Amino acid sequence: MNLKNFRIKNHYITIIRRIVQITAFLLINYTIIQLIFSINTFSLNGFASYFPILQTPRSAISNETGILEMSFFQGINGYFPFLLIGIFILMVLFANRSFCGWICPMGTIQDALAAIPIKRKKLKDKTHQKLLKVKFFVIIIIILVVLPLGISIVNNNIAFYDNFRTNIIYIAEKPIGFFSLSEFLFVSFPDMIVNIWESGGLGPLFVNFWIFIFFMLYITIIILSVWYPRFYCRYFCPVGAFCSMLSEHSFLKISRSPVKCVGRYECGVCEKVCPKQIRLLDESFKSFSGNGECNVCLKCMEKCPYNAIMINFG
């Protein structure tokens, strides 16, 4: 087949995914619907509360919180979140990371940034592999904060834990917030713009060293997401870190046909279009996940000129 003359005629996967993403974004950030259409959205409160995506409870747009944030919040208050963790595990086992690729509002925003007509770039493989570990360090940091706070509730006679809780009570209110792109876009950034506008200068940006560092970090992540699709998802998202640990054990798998697939040197379209920079042609024909990084966006399946990529369950 002459790939130069090859044109994808059928974009039904992308069209369906965009519809699902936009719908999910509006439902999860349901107050947008109320603001635009003056509709009472109170009935959506319970629906939005336990989606397995990273949301912030302080958002002016989304008044609810994701399942992981709720789990950590229970841990901080001395309760082990058996039910929430069980729901999270079941969702990943049965749906893989399709929530990341099809539902997560932060993923939708990053996909919108990646739609800007500009030449995409790829990191060197060694750099990419090293950066993939960053989100696991984020998880370790969060656990190191949450665990002592939970212990301080159960063993309130230990002075160290009491002091620890007192000193980081702000973090305790939103353990994932500091590492949340949602928190930045829907809370921190709007607040900072308002403060800068009211003060008439950039003073509010330099009030606290960490405020400045995190503000510049997320601005950088957003800018990089234009050239490197799903940059935050790849390297920083705490939810993505937990999902990647379970993804390879999911019943929902993507595979490729050893008969139809012609490999990287004759084709390689699947790797070129992958937003997560997964070298899927190095993986097994039976299933591939990029060590749990695959978002199940199905771009590879849609763009494959040989129809060699399939989705399986079991």
pTM of the complete model: 0.80
Least Cα distance to 54 among 216, 212, 196, 236 occurs for 236
Q: What is the pLDDT of residue 274?
A: 93
Can you tell me the distance from the alpha carbon of 50 to that of 28, in angstroms, rounded to the nearest whole number? Answer: 10
Residue 127 has pLDDT above 90, yes or no: yes
- Choice among 53-57, 99-103, 203-207, 290-294 with the minimum mean pLDDT: 53-57
Output 294 or 36, whichever has higher pLDDT.
Answer: 294
pLDDT in tens, 14-50: 889 999 998 888 777 665 555 555 656 555 555 554 4
Output 164 or 251, whichever has higher pLDDT.
Answer: 251
Q: What is the pLDDT of residue 162?
A: 59
Percent of the chain scoring above 90 in pLDDT = 27
Asked whether the beta carbons of 256 and 249 are under 8 A apart, the reply is no
> Domains plus CATH for the chain?
8-247 (no CATH), 251-314 (3.30.70.20)
| Angle between helix 67-76 and 82-95 (nearest 10) | 160
